[in-house]
């Protein structure tokens, strides 16, 4: 097993220079969209259509 100093040395930091991330406006849109579905989807119907209509 690696000790703590070896674990830290093996993980390279992510270069975030030039990256601004999400703006406040984009964060609000994302919060509104999380968990929302634009149309009701029945996965069973999709599976049946792909399985039987492919012939």
Average pLDDT for 5-24 = 79
- Model confidence band, residue 8 (pLDDT cutoffs 50, 70, 90): low
- Residue 16 included in any domain: no
- Model confidence band, residue 25 (pLDDT cutoffs 50, 70, 90): very high
Judged against a pLDDT cut of 70, whether residue 49 lies above it is answered with yes
- Residue 47 included in any domain: yes
Q: Residues near 30 by Cβ (< 8 Å), separated by ≥ 6?
A: 22
Q: What is the pLDDT of residue 2?
A: 58
- Residue 32 included in any domain: yes
Residue 14 DSSP code: P
- Residue 39 included in any domain: yes
pTM: 0.33
The residue segments making up the domain with residue 36 are 25-53
- Residue 49 included in any domain: yes
**Number of structural domains, the chain?**
1
Judged against a pLDDT cut of 80, whether residue 12 lies above it is answered with yes
Unique residue bearing structure tokens 């100093």: 5
Average pLDDT for 4-10 = 64
């Amino acid at each position: 097993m690696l000790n703590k100093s070896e674990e830290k040395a093996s993980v390279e930091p992510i270069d975030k220079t030039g990256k601004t991330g999400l703006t406040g406006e984009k964060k609000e849109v994302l919060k509104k969209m999380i968990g929302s579905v634009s149309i009701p989807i029945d996965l069973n119907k999709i599976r049946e259509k792909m399985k039987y209509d492919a012939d």
